[in-house]
Structure 1
Amino acid sequence: MTKVLKGRQLFSSEERDRVLYEFNRTDQAYNWLPYAKAFEQTVELFPKNIAVIDEENKVSYTDLNKYANRIAQCLIRYNVKEGDVVAVVMERSLHFIATVIAIWKAGCAYLPIEASTPAQRMINIVLDSKAGLIVSDSDLHGVESQESTPIVNLRFTHAVNALQQENDVNPSLCSDDMHQLAYIIYTSGSTGMPKGAMIEQKGMMNHFFYKINSFQMDTTFRMAQTAECSFDISVWQLFAPLLSGGATVIYTKDTVLNFKLLISKIVTDEITLAEFVPSYLTTIMSYLVRKKIGLPSLRYLFLTGETVHPQLALQWMQLYPSIKVINAYGPSEAADDVTLYEVPPSYNADFLPIGRPISNMKVYIVNEDMKLCNIGEKGEIVISGVGVGRGYINDPERTSHAFLEKDVISGSQDRMYKTGDLGCWLESGDIRFFGRMDHQIKVRGYRVEPAEIEVVLLKHTEIKEAVVLTVPRDSTNLLCAFYTAEHALEQTRLLEFLAQYLPEHMLPTFYLRISKIPLNGNGKVDRKQLLTMFPM
């Protein structure tokens, strides 16, 4: 683990004031309403505006609201209560959006699970979250046979017919309590079991309101919705535009993987804002440069999920000088984006800052004693404010390690989250990001705990030891599993084995059998030496 400096605070009161009251001057008053009620107000303002576009549908705000109301009435028949968790196993679509809005109308929280998730992992998540209901639009045979939680399948004819009979009037069940749970996002966990980060309505809505105000989200706004539903950035991509009278345009996974098709749709659909992980943008830049493709409607490009190299951002701005580039940073545990940095056209440095805190959020850089670091001094990034969630669902031990019940630096009652990321304040008031303090990594924008993959590898009867690292390949990071065994194992068989337990983004690309795992002088795994064994 990278060490964070211990010691006393050596900076002056003036410097402390800059950090606390200048860099973190973020207080902002909003008209706080839970999403369901704010959405219903938007429906009244813009009833005929197009709200959602997917590959099969194009619906107005009025029709989306009626559809969500019918689903909400259906959920009520299954006796869901305010505060319950409802798992949603669907691909991103109009139906997913309507289902989540219905869940919020019923006063519940949604838990997104990819339909491609292995059955056992899906069962583990449902059990861990104590979800009271599963809503799906696909067959869940592997889950149905082992899990007693009721399942509502909206694909079946009888379910569709039943929905048509439901009342489409606003159910008026959602309270005004901004501390009710909004959603749970499961992230990779070092024990081999993923952990569910809980976000409240106030944290989610604070994030939405900041984005709406800062990026001129209005009735002309069109969001390119590209992130998988289990990825935290999907939340604002899916739902924030629907509070402004704008539209959410959903692109399937197949479309996103076919970047030429995606770019053409961004043009024809007149997309206003697109958000990519940097490694994805890297793969399409040469195509954009070569074809000189115009993006006349695009106003903003968000980069998130990975460290951004300045050259990538500058290359984009040379090609599209009128499209602003935003470097976004934030963990699932704090309602997604916490800091943002708009890259200036004349930027000239070998790193790109992650910017300043958004409204009603505070960021501190601290040493091991939770004392503020000097400006320019490296320390752990700690987050406070309305966006910090409750912790990990039904997991008080891991919650206590990462969360504090109140802000011990400012004295406010807001929770604090210790990110495990390293950063420092710059004189400009922006934050520089250095990476993880531990070995958690990001692959294609997803946070991955290698230890979770290692735990699964060791379930294999022929594997004795396993270490998972990222290796650089074609401007991105890919997972490599180093393992010891009596003989080399067939890669396709290993992939099939892991796929029973892990989602696709956690499956290593490379598998390398070695004679033994190298250790350093402290008896710990020598990761640097392991990387030298990988054939570059």
Structure 2
Amino acid sequence: MKSVDSITPFIDLFWQQCEATPDRVAVVQDDCSWTYRELLSQSCHVADSLRTAGVQPGERVGVCVDRSPIAIASMLGIHLAGAAFVPLDPEYPAERLRFMLDDAKIKTLIGHARYRSLFDANDSTTSSTNSGATLKWVDASDLIRDGISPSFPVRENYFKLTGEQLAYVMYTSGSTGNPKGVLINHAALTTYCEADMEVYRLHADDRTLQFSTLTFDIAIEEIFPPLLCGSCVVVRPLERANSANELSHLIDTLQITAVHLATAYWHQWVDLMVATDSQVPSSLRLMVVTGEKVSVDHYQRWQTICDHDVLWCNAYGPTEATVTATVFVPEADFSAANMPIGKPLPGYSAAIFDKDLNEVAVGETGQLFIGGPALADGYLNRPELTQAAFIERKDSDGETQRWYRTGDIARWMDDGNIDFGGRVDHQIKLGSYRIEPGEIEAALTSISEVKEALVTAETLDGQTTLLAHIGLGADALSANSIDKEASNELTATAAKIAKQLREKLPPYMVPTRFVFVEHFPKTINGKIDRENLPDSSHAVVAREESLVAPQSELQKQLCEIWSSVLQVPQIGIDDDFFLLGGSSLLVTQVVARLKNQLGLELPVRDFFANPTIELAARHIQAMLGDESKTADEATAAIQSQRDRLPVMEAFFLPSGSHDLFAVHYSPPSRQTRRNRAVVLCHAYGHEYARSYRNLQQLAVHLAQQGFDVLRFDYAGTGNSHGNALEASPHVMMKNIRDVSNWMRQRHELDSVSLIGIRLGATLAACSAATGIDQQLLWDPVVCGETFLQSLDELHSETLSNEMRFARPRQSSSIDQAYGTRLNHVIRRQLSQLKLNLSDSQDDPATTLLLSRDYVVPGIDAPQSLINGSVIQMDDEIGWDRPELNESAFSSPGAIRHITKLLVDESDAGCAIEVQS
């Protein structure tokens, strides 16, 4: 067996791969694609930035980012700086995150700006941890390099690691009431990656889906081994797919060859494929299932829907053994009652000992131990736990070997495979998470109403959920016998407790059903008598609202489906699926049943947007009932009114690689045409929606005055081709230039006037479009960074607006501001955008049009922005007022001023009579 110090660290093997295949694609997400050279360059830039920030070798650096290429570069860059990374989930409660910061002594943290508030920032650069140390924040978007150096990085310029040094800390649930950090060194990471590549037969043409959150070690499996064989890591897209079977859609459209899934998620995916009569995507060649016991029934269903060769693997491994320790590959006709967990990976060893640490015979049951260089160093700051879990034992040759005590019951089979038998202790396997009930119980007893707490797992119809027994004391339950049906008072108590738990624990650790008692029954030695606790038939659901019964037949059907999936006896139309214990796994089960019972393929994305029975029923009715309606009445108009309207032509206009949707307003047939074209530059995000109608009215009015007017949507917005992540400021400024040139050439004009509103005004002023003799800037954005802050504040306020939503909504993992989807490129370019109105003689005549409540932070007098004219209007718009941010507005004053400015300028030139 190799010694730890003789094993090459992962980062050195990765560097060698980059030198061997610099131009192969290493990581992809949406429209972002990095080669191995680019990923290495980005990683080196992260390392340089961390060293500049003061990170020293051996330190631990926090990483609080979403699945993304920069997340991968951050982990690699942390290694190049000689440090270890610690994944931090932004979905965790702030209290849990603060504990992890303090426990890991994290001084520097890489994060997305939207997660900064989770770490109690006191100013623009630092925050304080519980230990009083200063936390330095490194914004992930600032780590993206716009280009790469033509010269290849030099390895000697970065820290030289050894196998025994720490690679990362992965936190898992802890029995003491707090999560515990598992210490994985570089030798362990390399040992795992090399074994993974061999067993799963990874090759350079693979495309592995990075699907898991970064705080779960499946993410290690998805990212690190593929990067050692020159293959591509495909990061799950930012936006959910509009498909009933989202995972199949991703695999198909992204041509994924390798997928690693938690067992529970794989079970649900199989059920969904069966329900929708679909086959396993043809591109898939490797399917790894891991985390908990696999259902043989589901494997046999998989065989019926898989019509090509797929290497299917059942993987087992605790975090303490670095991701995976054993793998079983069944035959196609496998039909045994239990799915084995297989044999140890290369470089790993396994043993089954009795209570005296003697090896048991084949077929006998004992506790499973894992050995080899892939073992963790132990638990961070938990010497007593490390000593209990990691033991040293002499083998028959007298050599001492280190073993990890898994706490799992197992036995050797005759063919050398290991059969899994369950847990020795009370630890709970929920999905792919190992949960220590003690941590939840500690959080429960910290709540003032709770005197005693016991958490167990409850499995109904194959679905495992958390059940909490709560002792409230005699006074609290004086009016409520546990033999009675749960009252509204106990339901409210359950909801109150669950709400407080969500402030302390991750969502997957919050029980959804509660059994209340006065005091727990005790055995003769004073321990809780689990056998005599009330069963789950006495449980109440943590429902925040009183139950509202379903009204329509569709609502009743949905309630029945939810009740069956969630194992909740009564469902009200206002109940939130996720607050009742629903998860993304269970969503797929609901979608599958909708297909079976209603013949309806509901996209998973639509379910997340409609998480109550009432909303879901309304959405389904809209899907089923509105397709036959026509728009004849809406399009009818009186002929005399048509004669006054401009001639409108909708078309797509080329701009680089994009096609922009545009509408050209020609003057009415009886109107004299002026020798002047006008281009309207829209606002951005929700301000686009607010101002759209007003600019449409302006376009009609100007066309009636004889101007040729063009409105257009920027690339990837509105009806233009592409997606929102293509609409960077640089692209939008190019769109303005291309549209202006098109208008000038199409109508053989010498000049074009630009009218921009909000960000459109700023982009118009910065675009440097040629042939522009006049620009009217209406309430322009002066500072992009301030504009972004405003959008983020509106976004946060809207999600938590209880007037709009029955309950505050949680922000999603997608980087978004109010009304638009962003990425790091757009954020960076927007934050750097400044309104610069120079006084050059070659610049077009510029006029600022300012609404009555227009305010520029830090600028007392907007007139100081420009040496040209400023028009102060009486119209009040309220761009930053939350109560108005979804309201369209009308600005007759702006239309009046703009028309006068354009007409006065145009009257200096000649007019051309339109020929009939």
TM-score in same-fold range (> 0.5): yes
Matched, 1:352 2:339: yes
CA distance in 2, matches of 1:294, 1:354: 23
Match of 1:85 in 2: 60
Q: Are 1:27 and 1:359, in contact at CA under 8 Å, matched by a contact in 2?
A: no
Match of 1:103 in 2: 78
Secondary structure of 2:8 counterpart: coil
Going from structure 1 to structure 2, the CA distance change for 1:98 and 1:186 (only over 3 Å counts) comes to same
Q: Are 2:58 and 2:166, in contact at CA under 8 Å, matched by a contact in 1?
A: yes
Matched, 1:452 2:464: no
Matched, 1:219 2:194: no
CA distance in 2, matches of 1:115, 1:55: 22
Which of 315, 318, 331 is equivalent to 2:318?
331
Which of 321, 329, 337 is equivalent to 1:342?
329
Q: Are 1:188 and 1:448, in contact at CA under 8 Å, matched by a contact in 2?
A: yes
Aligned residue identity for 1:435: G
Q: Are 1:128 and 1:394, in contact at CA under 8 Å, matched by a contact in 2?
A: yes
Q: How does 1:143-158 map to 2 (within 5 A)?
A: 143=119, 144-145=121-122, 146-147=128-129, 148-155=133-140
Match of 1:19 in 2: none
Match of 1:21 in 2: none
CA distance in 1, matches of 2:182, 2:242: 28
Which of 305, 309, 318 is equivalent to 2:295?
309
My pick for the range that moved more, 433-442 or 268-277, is: 268-277
Matched, 1:378 2:353: no
Secondary structure of 1:295 counterpart: coil
Q: How does 1:174-189 map to 2 (within 5 A)?
A: 174-189=159-174
Q: Are 1:468 and 1:482, in contact at CA under 8 Å, matched by a contact in 2?
A: yes
Q: TM-score, normalised by structure 2?
A: 0.53
Secondary structure of 2:451 counterpart: strand
Secondary structure of 1:117 counterpart: coil
Deviation string 1:314-367 (CA, Å, 9 cap, x unpaired) is 211222152232111111111110000001112121111100111111111001
Going from structure 1 to structure 2, the CA distance change for 1:262 and 1:344 (only over 3 Å counts) comes to same
Secondary structure of 1:219 counterpart: coil
CA distance in 2, matches of 1:517, 1:262: 44
Identity of aligned residues (%): 29
CA distance in 2, matches of 1:68, 1:270: 26
Match of 1:23 in 2: none
Matched, 1:362 2:326: no
Deviation string 1:163-186 (CA, Å, 9 cap, x unpaired) is 999x98345333251111111111
Match of 2:278 in 1: 292
Going from structure 1 to structure 2, the CA distance change for 1:86 and 1:162 (only over 3 Å counts) comes to farther
Match of 1:503 in 2: 506
Q: Are 2:368 and 2:406, in contact at CA under 8 Å, matched by a contact in 1?
A: yes
Which of 449, 452, 462 is equivalent to 1:465?
452
Q: Are 1:36 and 1:174, in contact at CA under 8 Å, matched by a contact in 2?
A: no
Q: Are 2:2 and 2:373, in contact at CA under 8 Å, matched by a contact in 1?
A: no
Q: Are 2:107 and 2:136, in contact at CA under 8 Å, matched by a contact in 1?
A: no
Q: Are 1:70 and 1:163, in contact at CA under 8 Å, matched by a contact in 2?
A: no
1:291 Cα shift? 2.3
Q: Are 1:326 and 1:342, in contact at CA under 8 Å, matched by a contact in 2?
A: yes
Deviation string 1:97-136 (CA, Å, 9 cap, x unpaired) is 0000001111221111111221111111121122232211
Match of 2:647 in 1: none
Deviation string 1:236-259 (CA, Å, 9 cap, x unpaired) is 212211111111112269749987
CA distance in 2, matches of 1:94, 1:389: 27
Which of 208, 231, 245 is equivalent to 1:260?
245
CA distance in 2, matches of 1:75, 1:406: 41
Which of 225, 232, 255 is equivalent to 1:240?
225
Match of 1:141 in 2: 117
CA distance in 1, matches of 2:394, 2:61: 31
Q: Are 1:69 and 1:170, in contact at CA under 8 Å, matched by a contact in 2?
A: no
Matched, 1:527 2:530: yes
Going from structure 1 to structure 2, the CA distance change for 1:479 and 1:396 (only over 3 Å counts) comes to same
Match of 2:153 in 1: 169
1:305 Cα shift? 0.7
Which of 78, 82, 88 is equivalent to 1:113?
88
Q: Are 1:353 and 1:433, in contact at CA under 8 Å, matched by a contact in 2?
A: yes
Unaligned runs of 5+ in 1: 1-25
Match of 1:399 in 2: 386
Aligned residue identity for 1:516: H
CA distance in 2, matches of 1:226, 1:312: 21
Secondary structure of 1:140 counterpart: helix
Q: Are 1:267 and 1:297, in contact at CA under 8 Å, matched by a contact in 2?
A: yes
Match of 1:47 in 2: 22
1:444 Cα shift? 1.5
Larger Rg: 2
Q: Over aligned residues, Cα RMSD in angstroms?
A: 2.8
Secondary structure of 1:87 counterpart: strand
Aligned residue identity for 1:196: G
Q: Are 1:224 and 1:273, in contact at CA under 8 Å, matched by a contact in 2?
A: yes
1:383 Cα shift? 1.2
Q: TM-score, normalised by structure 1?
A: 0.88
Q: Are 2:199 and 2:345, in contact at CA under 8 Å, matched by a contact in 1?
A: no
Deviation string 1:257-290 (CA, Å, 9 cap, x unpaired) is 9871221011111111112222222222232123
Aligned residue identity for 1:285: V
CA distance in 2, matches of 1:493, 1:254: 33
Match of 2:905 in 1: none
Unaligned runs of 5+ in 2: 123-127, 478-489, 539-566, 568-916
1:385 Cα shift? 0.5
Deviation string 1:412-434 (CA, Å, 9 cap, x unpaired) is 45531111111111111111111
CA distance in 1, matches of 2:324, 2:188: 11
Q: Are 1:403 and 1:416, in contact at CA under 8 Å, matched by a contact in 2?
A: yes
1:55 Cα shift? 3.5
Which of 30, 33, 36 is equivalent to 2:8?
33
Secondary structure of 1:141 counterpart: helix
Q: How does 1:56-71 map to 2 (within 5 A)?
A: 56-71=31-46
Aligned residue identity for 1:477: T
Aligned residue identity for 1:223: T
CA distance in 2, matches of 1:451, 1:246: 42
Which of 424, 427, 434 is equivalent to 2:411?
424
1:190 Cα shift? 0.8
Secondary structure of 2:73 counterpart: helix
Going from structure 1 to structure 2, the CA distance change for 1:453 and 1:294 (only over 3 Å counts) comes to closer
My pick for the range that moved more, 178-187 or 138-147, is: 138-147
Matched, 1:199 2:199: no
